[in-house]
Amino acid sequence: MDRMKIIKRRLSMSLRSARPVDDSLSELAEQMALDETPGARENGIVHENVKMGSDGESDQASGTSSDEVQSPVRVRMRNNHHRRISNEDINKRLSLPADIRLPEGYLEKFAMNSPPFDKPMSRRLRRASLSEIGFGKLETYIKLDKLGEGTYATVFKGRSKLTDNLVALKEIRLEHEEGAPCTAIREVSLLKDLKHANIVTLHDIIHTDKCLTLVFEYLEKDLKQYMDDCGNIMSVNNVKIFLYQLLRGLAYCHRRKVLHRDLKPQNLLISEKGELKLADFGLARAKSVPTKTYSNEVVTLWYRPPDVLLGSTEYSTPIDMWGVGCIFYEMITGRPLFPGSTVEDELHLIFRVLGTPTEKTWPGMPTSEEFKTYNFPLYRAEPLVNHAPRIDSDGHDLLSKLLQFDAKKRVSAEDALKHSYFRSLGEQVQTLPDTASIFSVKGIQLQKDPGKRSSVHPESTQGKSRRQSVLF
């Protein structure tokens, strides 16, 4: 009893002092070990200078099973065994890319400061380790060319000193009164948890007083630039590969209740190999359950579904599927499907092609007040194949399922991936790990686009390429 009173008194004195709690608790644990009687050690009770981690837990208790904690011999052996740590060990420990360049002498420092590899690493120590390597610092990246500028951000091409790879630096200006724009906060919070081969990778975040810099993997062009480069005449094989990758990245997002809400060719990046990656998650939202009410001022006009155009704010994953249909059509034909200039103009273009909604095609909408205010003429639906002659019957069926008026009837990204249109890609693409590229499957590769001009004889081949496009 007297010993317990002493311990309580020491603990209360430690907590009242101005010293850090971690230090006080560590000292208390050491003192308790010194106060132990020899008999206690003989009975197998061992306290080996228990140190508190930065998260407030002891290194000994954290991340080990009960039998490991109770086995003093095994604990001693692990603590006394000096394992040689390699770059690969650190990369795995800190979730770093394989090609990272660690600072000189960092291996030895990490080996001394890091807890044993069979125990978890505290959040504070991980942050400190990343900072020592160079993450979160502007001087780690060399700014090269300016790629573009928007309302809130400027994007630069850059190079990472850590990997020597090209990166995209998105500098978001911070206002003292308003702080970081909500679009930047959304983009960071969502992308840090989205790890997929068809979603752009966020490498680093740098926060200074004047700006927030997001460091992304660098990709040469977006889908709009790709289509421009091939004269808007793409190989139907390439259309299929791009569409599958778009659906694959989107299915991953939708499984995690993330809505992109701004799908368009400019937000789909293309690598030199042909990998398509979803980018610009500034308008994306994590959909809560039950459904929340969202803004209807989302999605670029040409790719916005009719239910949102007519004012709907209660939407879910089908909001993205309409945009997929529009992008599919644009890739196969080389022109946008519904290039409206206003909301009313956009609706007119949609109804001219797909027909004015009726109770049969869109139950409840023809009698709604939002719909009746426009007083649309009665347009008759036209077969989509009339507008996209290069599309085959399977492609036409998939396009029709994507462009459904009623959001509930639109095919999901998950189901679209299993559509017969993609049968020619083989069964292996259906079982790829999330982080694996579609090009890791044997036999899948891009073909030369019929509209792409030859760099040797650009003029002589132009007409021939355009005539041959009907064969693709």
Please give the angle made by the CA atoms of 456, 459 and 464, to the nearest 5 degrees: 100
Helix (H, G, I), strand (E, B) or coil at 113: helix
Helix (H, G, I), strand (E, B) or coil at 343: helix
User: In which order are the strands placed within the sheet that holds 166-173?
Assistant: 141-149, 153-160, 166-173, 211-217, 202-207
Instruction: Determine the Cα–Cα distance for residues 91 and 114; give it in Å rounded to an integer.
Output: 13
Active site residues: 262
Say what the alpha-carbon torsion angle 455, 461, 462, 463 is, to the nearest 10 degrees. 180
Instruction: Determine the Cα–Cα distance for residues 314 and 362; give it in Å rounded to an integer.
Output: 16
Q: Which of 211, 200, 204, 134 is nearest to 171 (CA)?
A: 211
Instruction: Determine the Cα–Cα distance for residues 424 and 126; give it in Å rounded to an integer.
Output: 45
CB 215 within 8 A of CB 169: yes
Instruction: Determine the Cα–Cα distance for residues 344 and 301; give it in Å rounded to an integer.
Output: 11
Q: Which of 181, 170, 174, 178 is nearest to 209 (CA)?
A: 174
List, in order, residues 6 or more apart from 241 with CB less than 8 Å away: 274, 425, 438, 444, 446
Instruction: Determine the Cα–Cα distance for residues 180 and 384; give it in Å rounded to an integer.
Output: 44
Instruction: Determine the Cα–Cα distance for residues 122 and 120; give it in Å rounded to an integer.
Output: 6
Instruction: Determine the Cα–Cα distance for residues 76 and 74; give it in Å rounded to an integer.
Output: 5
Q: Which of 302, 303, 252, 299 is nearest to 280 (CA)?
A: 299
Residue 170 in marked binding region: yes
Give the number of C-alpha atoms closer than 13 A to the C-alpha of residue 114, restricted to the C-beta side: 25
Q: Which of 152, 157, 222 is nearest to 180 (CA)?
A: 152
Please give the angle made by the CA atoms of 168, 264 and 448, to the nearest 5 degrees: 80
Pull the structure tokens for residue 228.
Answer: 């421009």
Q: Which residues are annotated as a binding site for ATP?
A: 170
Q: Which residues are annotated as a binding site?
A: 170
